[in-house]
Amino acid sequence: MLARAAVERTFSPGDIICCEGEVGRVMYFIVRGRVEIVKQVDEDTERHLHYAGSGEYFGEIALLQEGPRIATVRAVEDTTTLEIGQEPFLTVLGRSPSLGIRILVRMTSRLRDADQQAIEELRQANIELTQALRHLERLDRTKTDFIRVSAHELRTPVASLMGYSQMMRDNPMMEEHAELKALVDGVRAGAERLHRVFNSILDLSRLMTDGVEVRRSPVSLPVVFHGIQTEFGPALEERKLDLEVNGVDQLPFYIGDPDMLYKVFYHLVNNAIKYTPDKGRIEVVGQMVEADDLGQCIEIAVWDTGIGIAPGDIDLIFEKFYRTGEVELHSSGTTSFKGGGPGLGLAIAKGIVQAHGGRIWAESPGCDEETCPGSKFVVQLPIESV
């Protein structure tokens, strides 16, 4: 009966006999020749499953499941097949239980082989990925060490430069030489800027490599913000920015590292100043909140009416050296609008907040220099983790 229902076909080497994904309404017996069965991994790659030769058959899985073909079959030699449709095949299967069992046994062993092969490939891929990760970690460590050592070595002469320029600035002679005084001021401002960058690099490398030691003591957040308001006072005035601090006076003492926490809010307020056009507004709001996973927290949010942050950047800005938009290697002041910065402030803030068991995130409707939708940075510090 099968012989009557079968259609004979011949294929040349390279011919596709049936294709993965298409609905399989027939199965094939190989009368002569040899075929390769492959699976498509992606557009350019295929995975060899196995070869089949005369006397063997293929295509029965899609036929029995009435589903798409799970692999592609290609002739590797001149091949002749007998193509059998679903109906006659099922009839024969019904009449011959032993044929059914043989097909089942073969299907099971093929599936087992395919599983084994997939497991082996996954194991190999896993080994390669782990090796690549180790290599990248080694490279990252070397790079971080290089940056840290350079920053450390360069900070010392820069500190001398700051000291000597200050001594020159304090010399009474300077009062009579306005031009010289301006030059010395320029040297001093440049040296201070360099010093700040090196300090930020060292802060970050400490946070990343040594694991930070948080020296805990009671921190008065009103004092922290008073210091920040004083430090940025001249810049706020120059840029005609309004900085308001609300609710911080009512917060309890927080048991944490005062210097580190100062740095967190220093960087957040510095950024708010930097990314808000003149005459804008910055507001700091402090309150106690109950967070699902952190329990009772001190929450401090820094809002601004600045250019905002694009949704695609909102998480990336916390990565070290990440800056949005065009990276300009200019040396404009750290408080001028969109002034230059090394892209370290938020990475440092995040490292410090996490070392205190807290979290930090940014919110913004998007980035637009015309409409200035603004940004909000929120810090939550748990009281419990102390």
Distance between CA atoms of 187 and 373, rounded to whole angstroms?
Answer: 37
- Residue with smallest beta-carbon separation from ligand ADP: 341
**Residues in a beta bridge with 276:** none
283 half-sphere exposure, CB direction, 13 A CA radius: 10
Q: Which is nearer to ligand ADP, 57 or 322 (CB)?
A: 322
Which position among 343, 357, 366, 373 is part of the footprint of ligand ADP (CB under 6 A)?
Answer: 343
189 half-sphere exposure, CB direction, 13 A CA radius: 11
Residue 342 touches ligand ADP, criterion: CB under 6 A: yes
Q: Which residues neighbour 292 within 8 Å (Cβ) at sequence distance 6 or greater?
A: none
* Structure tokens belonging to residue 41: 């991994």
**Residues 345-364 interacting with ligand ADP (rule: CB under 6 A):** 345-347
* Residue whose C-alpha is closest to residue 205's, from 327, 351, 23, 306: 351
Q: Which is nearer to ligand ADP, 60 or 304 (CB)?
A: 304
Residue 306 touches ligand ADP, criterion: CB under 6 A: yes
Residue at 222: amino acid letter: P
**Residues 247-276 interacting with ligand ADP (rule: CB under 6 A):** 267, 271-272, 274-275
Residue 304 touches ligand ADP, criterion: CB under 6 A: yes
Which position among 314, 344, 352, 381 is part of the footprint of ligand ADP (CB under 6 A)?
Answer: 344
Choose one: 34-42, 84-92, 144-152, 317-325; the region binding ligand ADP (CB under 6 A).
Answer: 317-325
Choose one: 81-89, 205-213, 249-257, 318-326; the region binding ligand ADP (CB under 6 A).
Answer: 318-326
Least distance to ligand ADP, CB of residue 378, Å: 12
* Structure tokens belonging to residue 45: 């790659």
Cα R_g (the chain), whole angstroms: 35
DSSP string, 102-163: HHHHHHHHHHHHHHHHHHHHHHHHHHHHHHHHHHHHHHHHHHHHHHHHHHHHHHHHHHHHHH
Least distance to ligand ADP, CB of residue 157, Å: 23
Choose one: 9-17, 118-126, 247-255, 304-312; the region binding ligand ADP (CB under 6 A).
Answer: 304-312
- The residues that touch ligand ADP, with contacts defined as CB under 6 A, are 267, 271-272, 274-275, 304, 306-309, 317, 322-324, 341-347, 375
